[in-house]
């Protein structure tokens, strides 16, 4: 008999989002070295043996969603000719908008771009996941396992992770957020949310209303901050005692304000994401696939020319206070109801901006038959989603910002202007060596 497990919290809300419109997480691994389709298939087979969540599908029953295990096929792998260094961008945009058959599974597929004339040269491995089985914390260990499997003759990634997929984040909340404690905290949280909503609507009167079209296309804009600027930003986090997430959020919010909502003070809603794994009642290892994250959405009254460090401090303090109140857990648990309401009414966007900073990451040794030269990540935006967003990480000594927007909000020229503005704002805030 097929094993099933009820989806809850953020898993459930992500599945609701996917029912409304395709909602995928796409990772791009840019490599150099020889890799063929046979090795790819063997690597995925090894991953599926180890990870239960790669042998699952999603089924709907009586208004609920379940993970259903082991009755799935191998990971689909498609290859195509790589004709230029930027071919991967169009593939990613297609994959972000392409619906996955979650009822059949598995919840992962692969697109491999390689030049036939240069099989040992540069290529891109594009992995598309259903977000319900993957978060930023588990993504990196999985990619390391995958690359290891691609380079070993006899692939052995270790035994199956028996605890994977057994429990949702909701079932592992800390004791103070269980039972009556959860009800009390959720009630106070909903009161704060209603007050914030009323204040937001009042202050947003007469401001620009972003469109909400039925059909949109995701567009991506990858950018990198130079090592000198990255080093200056790292020093600033220590000097100002502000997180890198807060600094990047402030830069993204301010750039978006100047180009989409200029000349008038405007309330902005920003979405940021928090890792729940270390703070659960039973901490969850990063090696376990799953979505153990919470969302923080906050409102800030934005100006065109604020004091940057005052804005960054406000972002930092707002996120800190939200986390102290346990809102990352509460938002994770309550997200299915919120998503149903937003989709059902289509009366508002979830936010103006969104950003997630994964911190410093490494793919391991640069030696061997396959060398990683780049790493990108994107999550599908919806017509009800933010107008400009980014996934960020510190990689190879630089901050990589993978920006995302939808074509109903702006064209590539406007998106490029916002990205350039982010860079200019950060350079003005912390002039890198040789500037300022």
Two tokens, residue 169: 């984040």
> Do 95 and 208 lie in a common domain?
no
The secondary element (H helix, E strand) that includes residue 110 is strand 108-114
Considering the domain architecture, whether residues 256 and 290 belong to the same structural domain is answered as: yes
Residues 118 and 183 in one domain: no
Chain centroid to Cα 247, Å, comes to: 18
Q: What's the number of domains the chain is made of?
A: 2
Structure token digits, residue 122: 């540069």
CA 429/CA 423 separation, integer angstroms = 10
If asked whether residues 143 and 191 sit together in one domain, one would say no
CA angle in degrees (0–180, nearest 5) for 260-264-268: 60
Claim to verify: residue 253 and residue 399 sit in the same structural domain: yes
| DSSP symbols for 340-378 | HHHHHH--S-S-SEEEEEEEE-----S-SSEEEEEEEEE
**In terms of domains, do 137 and 248 share one?**
no
What does the block give as tokens for 237? 């986090």
Q: Which domain holds residue 79?
A: 4-151
The answer to whether residue 386 is domain-embedded is yes
* DSSP string over 369-400: SEEEEEEEEEE---TTS-SEEEEEEEETTEEE
* Tokens encoding 7: 């989806």
CATH code of residue 13: 3.30.559.10
pLDDT in tens, the chain (436 residues): 679 999 999 999 999 999 999 999 999 999 998 888 999 999 999 999 999 999 999 999 988 999 999 889 999 999 999 999 999 999 999 999 999 999 999 999 999 999 877 777 899 999 999 999 999 999 999 999 999 999 887 788 889 999 999 999 999 999 999 899 999 999 999 999 999 999 999 999 888 888 888 888 999 999 999 999 999 999 999 999 999 999 999 999 999 999 999 989 999 999 999 999 999 999 999 999 999 999 889 999 999 999 999 999 999 999 999 999 999 999 999 999 989 988 887 778 889 999 999 999 988 766 678 899 999 999 999 999 999 999 999 999 999 999 999 999 999 999 999 999 999 999 999 986 655 4
Residue 198 sits in the same domain as residue 303: yes
Query: Side by side, which strands form the sheet with 388-395?
Result: 218-225, 398-406, 388-395, 353-360, 266-275, 293-302
CATH number at residue 186: 3.30.559.30
Tokens of 268: 């902005």
Please tell me the pTM assigned to this model: 0.93
């Amino acid at each position: 008999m097929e094993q099933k497990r009820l989806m809850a919290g953020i898993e459930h809300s992500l599945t609701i989002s996917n029912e409304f419109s395709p909602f995928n997480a796409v990772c791009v691994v840019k490599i150099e070295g020889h890799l063929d389709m046979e090795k790819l298939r063997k690597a995925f087979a090894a991953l599926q043996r180890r990870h239960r969540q790669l042998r699952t599908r999603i089924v709907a029953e009586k208004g609920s969603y379940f993970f259903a295990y082991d009755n799935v096929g191998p990971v689909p792998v498609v290859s195509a000719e790589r004709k230029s260094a930027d071919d991967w961008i169009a593939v990613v945009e297609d994959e972000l908008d392409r619906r996955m058959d979650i009822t059949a599974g598995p919840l992962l597929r692969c697109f491999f771009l390689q030049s036939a004339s240069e099989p040992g040269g540069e290529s891109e491995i594009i992995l598309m996941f259903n977000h319900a089985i993957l978060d930023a914390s588990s993504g990196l260990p999985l990619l390391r396992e995958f690359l290891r499997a691609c380079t070993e003759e006899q692939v052995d990634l270790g035994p199956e992770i028996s605890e994977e997929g057994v429990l949702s984040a909701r079932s592992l909340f800390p004791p103070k957020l269980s039972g009556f404690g959860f009800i009390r905290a959720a009630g106070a949280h909903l009161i704060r949310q209603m007050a914030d909503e009323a204040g937001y609507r009042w202050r947003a009167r007469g401001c620009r209303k972003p469109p909400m079209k039925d059909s949109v296309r995701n567009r991506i804009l990858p950018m990198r901050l130079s090592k000198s600027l990255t080093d200056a930003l790292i020093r600033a986090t220590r000097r100002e005692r502000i997180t890198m997430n807060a600094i990047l959020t402030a830069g993204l919010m301010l750039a978006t304000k100047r180009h989409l909502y200029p000349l008038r003070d405007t309330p902005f809603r920003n979405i940021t994401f928090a890792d729940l794994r270390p703070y659960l009642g039973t901490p969850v290892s990063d090696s376990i696939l799953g979505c153990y994250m919470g969302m923080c959405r906050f409102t800030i009254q934005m100006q065109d020319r604020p004091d940057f460090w005052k804005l960054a401090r406000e972002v930092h303090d707002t996120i800190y206070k939200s986390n102290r109140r346990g809102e990352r857990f509460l938002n994770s648990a309550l997200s299915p109801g919120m998503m149903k309401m937003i989709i059902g009414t289509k009366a508002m966007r979830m936010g103006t901006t969104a950003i997630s900073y994964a911190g410093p990451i490494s793919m391991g040794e640069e030696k061997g038959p396959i060398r990683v030269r780049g790493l990108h990540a994107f999550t599908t935006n919806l017509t009800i989603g933010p107008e400009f967003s980014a996934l960020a990480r510190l990689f190879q000594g630089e901050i990589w910002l993978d920006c995302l927007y939808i074509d109903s909000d702006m064209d590539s020229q406007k998106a490029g202007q916002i990205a350039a503005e982010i860079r200019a704002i950060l350079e003005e805030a912390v002039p890198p060596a040789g500037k300022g």
